[in-house]
Structure 1
Amino acid sequence: MRDDEKIERSEAAWCLDFVTKSGGTVNNDSTEIFLSETETAESIKIKSEIAPEGERIAGVHITSGGSAPNMPPAEYLKLCKQLSDRPGVKVVITDNELSDGFVIPEGVIQINRGKTLRESIVNFSVLDLLVSSSTGTMHIAAALKVETLSLFCPLPACRPSLWGPVGNRAEFILPSENYCATRCPGDPKKCDFSGRLRGRDF
């Protein structure tokens, strides 16, 4: 275990130490993405189109690019159905691309398909909640002050206190310590939380 893994600080805080040691000033380590006036207007328009009656918009990001532990896509489909059945909630999928043969549930739209990064950021800004694994998408949402619910590995090098989002309201779902002791594949990127975390757990 690295020394920095023994201390409950975010990776952002560790990186900002370089700023302070170079003579700079850091007021806080919150992340933030700023939208232009045009983008803000577009965000309002998109939100009204997705949720014309003021429904809360829940984004579900299914893929992780192999960068973090993640549930199988089929479990995210169950989650989409579960959320869609709740009154006052609209569900969108935020992935740019999905694997061939992936069938999006009726009433759920894929808002970032074919979009540039900046266009996707505007789309993320309309969300009230993003459900995802611990990937860059989670950090984009956090920087837009969108609430996040994220799957995480509890191992020291992967834990939420180190790699969790900074500056938003964030909640985490982790498997039990006993699960990791008996089922861990050794490489967190290969973990699919098999037998422990499923769409219904959300």
Structure 2
Amino acid sequence: MTPRHIIISRTDSIGDVILTFPLLGLLKKQFPDVKITFLGQNYTRPVILACSHVDFFLDWSEMQGHSMETRITLLRSMEADVILHVFPRKEIARLAHKAGIPVRMGTTGRIYHWLHCNHLIKLSRKNSPLHEAFLNILLAEKLIGRPEISDGDIPGLYGFDRIAKLPEEFAALIDPVRFNLILHPKSKGSAREWGTDNFATLSALLPRNMYKIFVTGTKAEGDLLIQEGFFDKAGDFTDLTGKMSLEKMISFILAADGLIAASTGPLHIAAALGKTTLGIYPPIRPMHPGRWAPIGKRASFLVSEKECSDCAEGGPCRCMLDISPKQVQQKLFSMVNSDLI
């Protein structure tokens, strides 16, 4: 089939959304005239609208405030012929069915997809060895087949290039000579963390004649960093916690040179923007880098090379905490130096 208008339903987090963009890139490559609507959460709107593969944005947060009849009317008005449930939600699957979207695609792993989808894909994310970006692509197999692509092809498929201009107050902070490095220590609970002390030690280790350090996060995360002693141990840095909207954060990452974080949204933003990106990961599935590593022209990761499940029930990850700041510093140096060659 040749679709005219596809709705991509992905109502979860920033990193998940970013790793769906390569699928959109392949859809646009296969069907150059297709329109793509992205159904997502309001807080991911700036990320979604920065992708040039997206023609329209539907705010699920707003739609939830309306009656079922209003939602059906809105979805019908899109005149979409395909909806792809990348992130499964029962209420959206039911809504798409009621709205009469002709092709409704979802995985066999959700019972409600058997009721509300008419094209089922046998795919288990939990047991797959594949990266999230490739799992997303497999969901559209009935539309685009199984394209032969590798990690090296993914950066060219993001379409993450519709970036707002950075306001002068933040642009003026960028050093024209030194390497502008963003440290993003916290994750809002979305990922295992490397630890405040490790980030502070890393910051103190980096020579300031070579690096200008920025620290980002929400205001609440900034307050927590103060409580945990980061500001006392990290040396000279520019504190940007709580000072930027997500849209400005995207623009600032584009203006900077690199970013270090755990498996968070900003890490995947940096990778998609082609920045020097270093992720710090636990070895435990399904949080391991095999599934969630940043993929980009200058992206890499560190992970303890051992089988471990000690933190399976939550709490600090010893395997991550055991990755030393010196190891991260050396990995960063090698990445930066390879960029200069």
Mapped pair 1:50 → 2:186 = no
Q: RMSD across aligned C-alpha pairs, in angstroms?
A: 3.1
By relative contact order (CA 8 Å, sep 6+), the higher-ranking structure is 1
Shift of 1:7: 5.4
Q: Match of 2:138?
A: 17
Q: CA offsets, 1:60-80, max 9 Å, x none?
A: 110012222212212211111
Q: Match of 2:218?
A: 96
Match of 1:135 among 244, 260, 264: 264
**C-alpha distance in structure 2 between counterparts of 1:168 and 1:94, whole Å:** 22
Mapped pair 1:191 → 2:317 = yes
Aligned-partner SS, 2:173: helix
Mapped pair 1:72 → 2:199 = no
- Which runs of 5 or more structure 1 residues have no equivalent in the other structure? none
Aligned-partner SS, 1:49: coil
- Which runs of 5 or more structure 2 residues have no equivalent in the other structure? 1-122, 329-341
**C-alpha distance in structure 2 between counterparts of 1:34 and 1:167, whole Å:** 14
Q: Which structure: greater helix fraction?
A: 2
Counterpart of 1:139, as a letter, is H
For the 8 Å contact 1:56–1:90, the answer to whether it is kept is yes
- Report percent identity of matched pairs: 21
Query: Counterparts in 2 of 1:158-173, with a 5 A limit?
Result: 158-173=287-302
For the 8 Å contact 2:304–2:320, the answer to whether it is kept is no
**C-alpha distance in structure 1 between counterparts of 2:218 and 2:268, whole Å:** 16
Q: CA offsets, 1:111-153, max 9 Å, x none?
A: 3533111011111112222111111111111111112111112
Count of equivalent residues: 193
**C-alpha distance in structure 1 between counterparts of 2:286 and 2:242, whole Å:** 32
Mapped pair 1:201 → 2:331 = no
Q: CA offsets, 1:58-112, max 9 Å, x none?
A: 11110012222212212211111112x2532111112233215355345301235
Counterpart of 2:264, as a letter, is T
**TM-score of the pair, normalised by structure 1:** 0.78
**C-alpha distance in structure 1 between counterparts of 2:297 and 2:313, whole Å:** 28
Q: Which runs of 4+ in 1 moved over 4 A?
A: 2-8, 23-28, 43-48
For the 8 Å contact 1:112–1:123, the answer to whether it is kept is no
For the 8 Å contact 2:181–2:211, the answer to whether it is kept is yes
Aligned-partner SS, 1:113: coil
Q: CA offsets, 1:149-171, max 9 Å, x none?
A: 11112223122121112233222
Mapped pair 1:152 → 2:276 = no
Aligned-partner SS, 1:125: helix
**C-alpha distance in structure 2 between counterparts of 1:136 and 1:147, whole Å:** 15
Rg larger in structure:
2
